[in-house]
């Protein structure tokens, strides 16, 4: 299993930031939960690449199989 570290880092930092904003009441709960949903959607989704037919690497993916030949 391999991890897409750049995508995981972006998602983790964004989740922490929004959570801190929610805890300190800097943003409303409606807006905060909307942002959390967007971030989770980014982390598990294919995003804008789906429109172009390109697949995006998920955060956690199986190791590529090597051809024994």
Task: For the beta carbon of residue 18, count every other beta carbon within 10 angstroms.
Answer: 20
Report CA-CA distances (Å) from 42 to 7, 26, 49: 9, 23, 11
Whether residue 27 lies inside any domain: the answer is yes
Question: What is the extent of the structural domain holding 7?
Answer: 2-57
State how many domains the chain has. 1
pTM: 0.66
69 pLDDT exceeds 60?
no
pLDDT digits (tens, 9 = 90+) for 9-53: 888 898 899 999 999 999 998 998 898 888 887 777 765 666 677
**Choice between 28 and 68, residue whose per-residue pLDDT is larger:** 28
Asked whether residue 64 is assigned to any structural domain, the reply reads no
**In this structure, is residue 26 part of a structural domain?**
yes
Residue 19 located in a structural domain: yes
């Amino acid at each position: 299993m391999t991890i897409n570290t750049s995508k995981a880092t972006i998602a983790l930092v964004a989740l922490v930031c929004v959570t801190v904003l929610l805890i300190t009441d800097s943003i409303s709960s409606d807006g905060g939960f909307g942002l959390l949903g967007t971030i989770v959607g980014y982390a598990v989704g294919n995003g804008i690449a789906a429109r172009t037919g390109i697949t995006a690497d998920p955060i956690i993916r199986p190791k590529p199989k090597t051809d024994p030949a």
